[in-house]
Structure 1
Amino acid sequence: MTQDLAPIRPSPPPVAAQPATSGSPLLATSPSGRSIRALTGPQKAAILVRLLLAEGADIKLDSLPEDMQTALTEQIGRMRLIDRDTLTAVVGEFVETLEQVGLSFPGGIDGALKALDGRISPGASSRLKQMVRERHSADPWDRIAHAEPDTLLAVLAPESPEVAAVVLSKLSVTRAAELLGKMPGERARRVAYAVSLTEGIAPAMVARIGESIARELDQRPPRAFAVAPAVRVGAMLNSATGPVRDALLDALREQDAAFAEGVGKAIFTFAHIPDRLNPRDVPKVLREVAQPDLISALAATLPQPGSPEGRAADFLLANMSQRMAASLRDEVETRGKVKGKEAEAALAAVVTAIRELSDAGEITLLSDEDDD
């Protein structure tokens, strides 16, 4: 182990390996009985970091505040040879400290906000983020990276293409491409070209742009509804009967074709199952549907071969075990004809199970653009 640390040997004599002198506090007594001089916290941190790097560990030091990164680097630069007894004592103390930890808390308000994300109200979250911003203790680019695309686009709209180019350059490639795709054609072209002008921009200017955009995001009033209007209306129509749903969609198309299109994309009915549900998720869905509801739904749709609902029933049966499918077909024959209201309730139960699994993140519904 000490051989790995040898490359950091300059000319001055060892600092941490000297025996304790009179009046010098002791860090520990080594197994050999040698007294080891006490080290400061930064010195211990430097030893541990140097040891981990020598062992090939991937340490994410860039997550530390810059002043701490600077102090750690300066301390490593001042260190010289570390004897084996000192190294063993520092590592032992570190391991013992870790073993005594019962619970850890995120550091600062910014860390607490991340831990409580989604569990406090939007208003409280907005005020706390503004507080963090005023104290300059949070990374503005983290705030920008997690902003809703439409909200970020609205904040960037009045900014120059050069400012927008800086923001996109600080985001992930996927996120930047998503934002470019949502911009009008001419605006997207200007912003894309402005990226070529960012090579010589000073880091201080990038930091000021980040602070300004993050401040604009924090000052925007929190949204009362987390879900877009078209998605909310689509969820309502999911539970409506077919005739009511079709009539309302037709009325919406006459009033606002673009909004009606968004509502149509948000609607998910039993007939959409073959196009939107991944075949491998069928068993998971069926476990969430009560057996009587599933049998009623199949009994109402299987006698309609070629119809969208009949195709959905065949899709479900085709993506479960053959034994289970045969058993369900027998149950359907025994069940006989299903009345209209009962059929609607059974189909809604299957759709509700799919939507709940999707909202919980346990399955992912396919979009119209997916090839699957």
Structure 2
Amino acid sequence: MADRRTKMNGKQKAAILMIALGTDVSANVFKHLTEQEIEDLTLEISNARKVDSDMKKQVIEEFFQTAMAQEYISQGGIGYAKQILEKALGAQQANDVIQRLTSTLQVRPFDFMRKSDPQQILNFIQNEHPQTIALILSYLDPDQAATVLSALPVENQADIARRIAQMDRTSPEIISQVERVLEKKVSSSSVNQDYTQTGGIASIVNVLNGVDRTTEKNILEQLEEHDSDLAEEIKKRMFVFEDIVVLDDRAIQRVIRESENEDLILAMRTASEEVKELLFHNMSERMAASFKEEMEYMGPVRLHDVEEAQTRIVNTIRKLEDAGEIVIARGKGDDVIV
């Protein structure tokens, strides 16, 4: 049996696991696979004409150990996972599980810093080059990165935000070099040689959504001076129409008054039920009934027109906030006060 197990490759093990889990679970797994993966796995399953109970047990056990190891790594890194597995499985089996994982698992760079307090991170990186700081912040959790960015010198914030937004791909060698310079455990030792997606506009938007309003305004104003297109693209992504749910009732009522009825009706065409109910709740009964009737009998509309209407309403929200007439709830500070 031992010889038979050692000859199984990953696809064969996956096929046996699907057989062991049954058709319902396997069907759900298949929903998350590519067409090629489904084809390969289906072929392996069809070739596995007879799978004995010992083989099923061995594959399920290996899968369970691997899944638990990945969970432990996400909680506290490879070292933590190894300690837990050694207590549960013994040193030899724990080593086998970790070795299996590290041959394919990509541990996110700067994993150790995501376990640290933002103030400690700030103390550790504040004297580094802005590009180094940008690289590190792009890998942190958005809340952590927002706290650190807010605490950095005001004159450096926009520069670092711009570097994060314009960051695309960073080679593993540079990432590892930065980690070595910081004299910390290299968490990307198993990163393959493909370039790793880093930063980008989505990354800085997540960070800015968590900073206080003063920091956000300072960064965007400075970005507008140096790169107005980038600043505008960031603004577009920072608050979308569906985010209207973070406003309180009085703020929503103000937005409704300041917006064109036609825009509101169009914008609600693709809105979630939560957004629709929130808007209806803040209208008069007569207005809500009129909107519902018009939406019911409205013919087909272009998605582009809907998106433009939503953009106009979002711009209204921005103007009201800039004028201090409403306040949008943010990650680290402002209450929603109108």
For Structure 1 versus Structure 2, the TM-score category normalised by the shorter chain is 0.3 to 0.5
Which one has the bigger helix percentage?
A: 2
Higher relative contact order (CA 8 A, sep 6+): 2
Task: Report the TM-score when normalising by structure 2.
Answer: 0.33
Task: Report the TM-score when normalising by structure 1.
Answer: 0.31
